[in-house]
């Protein structure tokens, strides 16, 4: 335990690749906060996740970021959950309150939307949006994407029923979302923004999205980061897409939201995104 300094951490498995300590260190320096931020390699079994978190709390931990594969476990562990976390069934940020309760939230979807619209200057309002994947990352994005007001919103997934679940959720949130399988791209035309929320890039694979789905003047966005051009981004580049982006900006934005939850002030993100880009090169 570090006397007088609040402790935070990120937990995941594997976690060695994380740049979260760098990001939060830059936030702390920028805002003059006295805190530490460490890396915890998660247990091999999700059943042991709660014990690891509670041990960190006992040792003075104030909050924790959660990454794969523990986001659903973090949600289940919490005593209180935000509406965002409830909608996605997952949490990427835990806050440990003075009365011993665990609060869960997720900022992934908000951060993704902010990175696209603010940092990259690509408005989603009135545009055609294609979201690839129907896992936790895609589910977290549904509400912010619906709120952004795309003219057309399609969720594509290998298993159509899972895409249909997200489309139904989007409908309950007031949007019009269409679901399709990877074998049903014919007739859909091209999209202004194509977001890869599948795990394919983590294993060096390409989701089966045809080149005709990309609008050359649009944006191709991959949630994976720190890997150079992923197979998805290479594919989009070959299709002539003008704007390519990975998830580094999303990572920084969600970290800033977690930092604000913990410390009561939101750091500036633009310089940290630039620093992260330099660190990755």
Check the annotation: does 131 bind a ligand.
no
Amino acid 281: pLDDT: 64
Amino acid 17: pLDDT: 86
Amino acid 3: pLDDT: 62
Amino acid 273: pLDDT: 94
Distances (CA, A) of 4 to 1, 22, 100, 269: 9, 21, 19, 27
104 strand-pairing partners? 81, 94
The reply to whether CATH 3.40.50.720 applies to domain 109-245 is yes
Check the annotation: does 126 bind a ligand.
no
Amino acid 52: pLDDT: 97
Cα 218 to chain centroid distance, Å, stands at 21
Catalytic residue check, 62: no
Compare 158 and 277 and report the one with higher pLDDT: 158
Query: Looking at the chain, which runs of residues are DSSP E strands?
Result: 6-12, 35-41, 61-66, 80-81, 93-96, 102-105, 128-132, 152-157, 177-181, 191-196, 214-222, 243-245
DSSP state of 119: I
Q: If pLDDT is split at 50, 70 and 90, which confidence band does 188 have?
A: very high
Check pLDDT > 70 for residue 201.
yes
Check the annotation: does 63 bind a ligand.
no
In CATH terms, are 6-105+249-279 and 109-245 the same topology? yes
Of the listed 7, 24, 71, 128, which one is catalytic?
71
Residues 106-161 pLDDT 10s = 999 999 999 999 999 999 999 999 999 999 889 999 999 999 999 999 999 999 99
Amino acid 133: pLDDT: 96
Residues 206-261 pLDDT 10s = 999 999 999 999 999 999 987 689 999 999 999 999 999 999 999 999 999 999 99
The mean pLDDT value of the chain amounts to 94
Extents of the domains making up the chain: 6-105+249-279, 109-245
* Per-residue tokens: 194: 């194509």
Check the annotation: does 157 bind a ligand.
yes
Dist CA 169 CA 75 (whole Å)? 19
Contact 246, 230 (CB under 8 A): yes
Question: Considering the entire predicted model, what is its pTM?
Answer: 0.93
Indicate the fold that domain 6-105+249-279 takes in CATH.
Answer: Rossmann fold (3.40.50)
């Amino acid at each position: 335990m570090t006397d007088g300094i609040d402790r935070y951490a990120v937990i995941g498995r594997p976690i060695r690749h994380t740049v979260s300590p760098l990001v939060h260190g830059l936030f702390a320096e920028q805002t003059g906060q006295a805190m530490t931020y460490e890396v915890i390699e998660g247990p091999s079994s999700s059943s042991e996740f709660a014990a690891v978190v509670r041990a960190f709390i006992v040792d003075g931990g104030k909050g924790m970021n959660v990454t794969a594969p523990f986001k659903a476990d973090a949600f289940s562990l919490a005593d209180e959950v935000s509406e965002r976390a409830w909608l996605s069934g997952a949490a990427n940020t835990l806050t440990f309150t003075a009365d011993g309760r665990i609060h869960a939230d997720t900022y992934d979807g908000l951060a993704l939307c902010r990175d696209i619209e603010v940092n990259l200057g690509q408005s989603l309002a009135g545009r055609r949006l294609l979201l690839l994947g129907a896992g936790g990352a895609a589910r977290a994005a549904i509400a912010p994407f619906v709120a952004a007001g795309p003219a057309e919103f399609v969720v594509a997934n290998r298993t159509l029923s899972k895409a249909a679940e997200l489309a139904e959720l989007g409908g309950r949130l007031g949007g019009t979302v269409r679901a399709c399988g990877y074998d049903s791209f014919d007739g859909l035309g091209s999209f202004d923004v194509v977001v890869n929320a599948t795990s394919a890039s983590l294993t060096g694979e390409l989701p089966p999205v045809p080149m005709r789905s990309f609008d050359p003047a649009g944006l191709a966005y991959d949630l994976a980061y720190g890997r150079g051009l992923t197979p998805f981004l290479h594919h989009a580049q070959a299709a002539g897409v003008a704007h390519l982006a990975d998830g580094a900006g999303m990572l920084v934005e969600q970290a800033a939201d977690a930092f604000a939850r913990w410390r009561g002030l939101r750091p500036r993100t633009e310089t940290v995104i630039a620093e992260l880009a330099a660190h990755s090169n």
